[in-house]
Amino acid sequence: MSGRQQVVAAARPVVGGGGWRPTWRGHLHGSELTWAIAFLVPYAAVFFAFAVYPIAYGFWMGREPSLYAHLVSDPRYITTVINTVLYVGLAVNVKMFLALLLSGFFTRRRWWIKALLVIYILPWALPAVPAFLSFHWMLIGEQGLVDSVLQALFSIDGPIWFNDRWLALGSNIIAYIWKWMPFWTVIFLAGRMAIPEDIYEAADIDGATGARGFVHVTFPLLANIYLVCTLLSIIWTLGDFTSVFFVSGGAPAMSTDVLATIGIRYALDLAQPQLGVAAMLSALPVLIPLVIVLMRKVQATEVQL
């Protein structure tokens, strides 16, 4: 039981405190050092064989400048870049903002809201492939559940979702939000729970209730977590393959692909692995600054991942 609380504590944001420091410092020597190195060998082996080497190999594959000239002259690539910007920009921000608001809803102490939370996190528990398969078949046209419901309830002929670029892109974004919003809601819920009750009491006396309490109390206190989570989510969404691949599958005619899916498509379907790697490497000018800012933020604020 105490173990359970300890794990939860370990997963919570750590506030202040330099943490643990060894009482006796000194450098390892002799057999101690040998053992320490021996303990690190398995991780180092995995790290170099399956992370460093593939990364280096990837740079080597994408080293030709002509690949990037080829990419820029390919209209599908330009479409893909626009899609990626829209997809990441909309999906991440809408998801994070709704998650932040909903985490406030789930702090309410009602039995049915607690029960609802258990159902609400089901999308997070469901593996990605079945979830996005279901979205694909829910939207696949007149036979899909969404259009059937529209027909049954409102007698509207629903659109053929994957025949229109913007509807298909929107479907991808909705499916993505559906899958990942519960996870971030739970993160923000933990963040809200860590805010001491008396801060709200003090704010209450000063008249900061409701929306004003959110703007002047909750949001400033959660701003750091919100920023770190948004950065992390942007990076991961940039590399998100499964949702676009399964929901719209790039339909219609590869007009809703994002960088992650078009890279794999170039490599596997069109047998141009160099071009695929180049497409993904072209995200580096955005990715590297994001990673640097994120690493600094994480170290500076001790927000726990």
Largest CA-CA distance found in the chain, in angstroms, rounded? 80
Selection from 97, 70, 111, 14 nearest residue 262 by Cα: 70
Residues 203-232 that bind another protein (CB under 8 A): 232
Member of 68, 124, 200, 214 binding another protein (CB under 8 A): 124
Member of 65, 66, 108, 157 binding another protein (CB under 8 A): 108
| Nearer of residues 157 and 198 to another protein, judged by Cβ | 157
Cis peptide before 252 (omega within 30 of 0): yes
Q: Does 23 bind another protein (CB under 8 A)?
A: yes
Member of 16, 42, 75, 285 binding another protein (CB under 8 A): 42
d(CA 88, CA 236) in angstroms, rounded, equals 9
Token representation of residue 94: 């809408």
Neighbours of 285 (CB within 10 A): 8
Q: Tell me which DSSP letter residue 141 carries.
A: S
Stretch that binds another protein, among 76-84, 142-150, 162-170, 213-221 (CB under 8 A): 142-150
Q: Does 95 bind another protein (CB under 8 A)?
A: no
Residues 236-255 that bind another protein (CB under 8 A): 236, 238-242, 246, 249
Q: Does 133 bind another protein (CB under 8 A)?
A: yes
Residues 47-66 that bind another protein (CB under 8 A): 47, 49-51, 53-55, 57-58, 61
Inter-helix orientation angle 219-238/165-193, to 10°: 140
d(CA 243, CA 175) in angstroms, rounded, equals 7
Stretch that binds another protein, among 15-23, 70-78, 161-169, 198-206 (CB under 8 A): 15-23
